[in-house]
Structure 1
Amino acid sequence: MIRTCLIASLFIAAAGAAHAQDSRNPWSFSLGAATDNRSKDASKSDGDPYVWGEAQWESASGLFYAGPQFETIKASTGSELEIALSAGVRPQIAGFDLDLNAEHKWHVNADPGTDDAAWEFTANIKRSIGPASARVRLQHSPDSTGSTEAWTWVALRGGWDFTNKLTGTVEIGRREQDNSVDYTGWNAGFTYALTRNLEAEVRYHATDADVPGEQYADALVAGISVAF
């Protein structure tokens, strides 16, 4: 926890310095916390609360972006902190917004001999018409952390902007994993902009995986994040 707090402090200090130097600085920063760390509807923190942060550089055109992230976890590797570096492009084609991303992840202080690093590739295709939005997501890792080997996640999300502050979304996805559990997951929830930079979220996650423990159990998750 001390290491996590130090990392978060560095993110805040860097953000303040960037803003002081140039209000149009291409760097942006985000920090957040939630009651559970859910990814692809499965828990990465064994049902416990977590914190996360990211810094992102964006080109003047908005096409290219890159940056580091961190999040607290409870992994089978013995690690309680994941750090990552990612880079991607966000082109627009025929009215669709694309986001193509490559990310390399590391589990800090993992048990000796465990697989503590992985590549993850993501492709998002999104379209918005008025208050309605839809997104198709495809993610793949050729070799995940821990004992899990290759996996693929395909998900479809629909959203609706009720107001300029309140948005609701529903998503369903399927994950196929080598040497681990195959499952279908879904989630539904709302995000609300408390201020220009502060956002709250409440979301329900569920899977059809019949596995004991908190990793695939249904859960109602609340979170808050700040961007600057």
Structure 2
Amino acid sequence: MIRSSHLPALALLLLPTVAAAQDRDNARYSGDTPGHFSFELGAGTDNRSKGSSKSGNDPYVFGEVQWNASNGFYADLEFETIDSSGSYVETEAEAGWQYSAFGLDFDTSASHKWRVGAVAGHDDAAWEYQFDVIKDFGAVDTRFRVEHSPDGLGSTEAWTWVEGRVRFPLTDSLKASATLGRREQDNAPDYTGWNAGVAYAVTDTTSLDLRWHGTDIEEEGEQYENALVASVLVAF
């Protein structure tokens, strides 16, 4: 893969058309909405990211507090339990900008991650950059995402992830979605990852998710094996 520095990713942060919704289920920014805090807590049977497991296929918990400003900027602090590089907790500080233009929604962000208590010799901190383009087609919403780190966590060096997602309602409370992505990385295997499943809104603040995750490199170890993952999210 082509190595790159921080500069291309930082350039994304300066795009004037950046915007709309991290993975906050397609929430839309409105300049008339005052700034506010939001909170998320949740748990799942496996911590899956980009098709692979970060928790050794074991259950995990996560949480987040986010400030959303009225001009589209946001900042958040997050934690999640993992089992990687000798660490069991990963934390993250993130800042980004949401905006809408040309009939599209955009979201760009930069985040810094730390793995608490990682084994010496494994990178325990990394910068990551994310850029989303979101478009609705009636009841169907789509998202194109690019993520990049110039030097990843653990033994992984530079990596890039590109994915597409399609989501649509089955009922007022039930949504189906599918995601397909490709990860290319230095000092770690390249692979294609995917997931498909449904999310059910139990209440206005609580949702349940059941999803099948997979990759095309199952032979590389259990973290890349296919798995059915159930999770619960409380957001307020």
State the SS of the aligned residue for 1:215.
helix
The aligned counterpart of 1:29 is 39
- After superposition, the C-alpha distances for 1:40-78 in whole angstroms (9 at most, x for unaligned) are 0110001000000000000024x1100100000001x20
Tell me the percent identity. 50
- After superposition, the C-alpha distances for 1:148-172 in whole angstroms (9 at most, x for unaligned) are 1000000011111222311110111
The aligned counterpart of 1:69 is 78
Choose from 64, 69, 72 the match for 1:59.
69
State the SS of the aligned residue for 1:120.
strand
The aligned counterpart of 1:11 is none
The aligned counterpart of 1:156 is 164
The one-letter code matched in structure 1 to 2:102 is A
**1:50-129 matched pairs, under 5 angstroms:** 50-61=60-71, 63-75=72-84, 77-129=85-137
- For residues 25 and 89 of structure 1, the distance between their equivalents in structure 2, rounded to whole angstroms, comes to 13
TM-score (norm 2): 0.83
Per-residue deviation at 1:146? Answer: 1.0
- After superposition, the C-alpha distances for 1:196-225 in whole angstroms (9 at most, x for unaligned) are 100000000010014343210000000001
Higher relative contact order (CA 8 A, sep 6+): 2
Contact 1:68–1:84 at 8 Å: present in 2 too?
yes
The one-letter code matched in structure 2 to 1:42 is S
TM-score (norm 1): 0.86
Per-residue deviation at 1:114? Answer: 2.1
Any gaps of 5 or more consecutive residues in structure 1? 1-23
Change (3 A) 1:106 1:165: same
- After superposition, the C-alpha distances for 1:16-55 in whole angstroms (9 at most, x for unaligned) are xxxxxxxx77111000000000000110001000000000
The one-letter code matched in structure 2 to 1:56 is Q
The aligned counterpart of 2:197 is 189
- For residues 142 and 111 of structure 1, the distance between their equivalents in structure 2, rounded to whole angstroms, comes to 21
Confirm whether residue 174 of structure 1 aligns to residue 182 of structure 2: yes
Matched residue count: 203
The one-letter code matched in structure 2 to 1:50 is Y
Contact 2:135–2:141 at 8 Å: present in 1 too?
yes
Contact 2:35–2:69 at 8 Å: present in 1 too?
no
Contact 2:201–2:208 at 8 Å: present in 1 too?
yes
Per-residue deviation at 1:128? Answer: 0.9
Any gaps of 5 or more consecutive residues in structure 2? 1-33
Confirm whether residue 224 of structure 1 aligns to residue 236 of structure 2: no
**1:13-28 matched pairs, under 5 angstroms:** 26-28=36-38
Task: Identify the range of structure 1 (96-105 vs 203-212) with the bigger mean alpha-carbon deviation.
Answer: 203-212
Contact 1:185–1:205 at 8 Å: present in 2 too?
yes
RMSD: 1.2
Contact 1:104–1:117 at 8 Å: present in 2 too?
yes
State the SS of the aligned residue for 1:171.
strand
Task: Identify the range of structure 1 (179-188 vs 209-218) with the bigger mean alpha-carbon deviation.
Answer: 209-218
Contact 2:218–2:226 at 8 Å: present in 1 too?
no
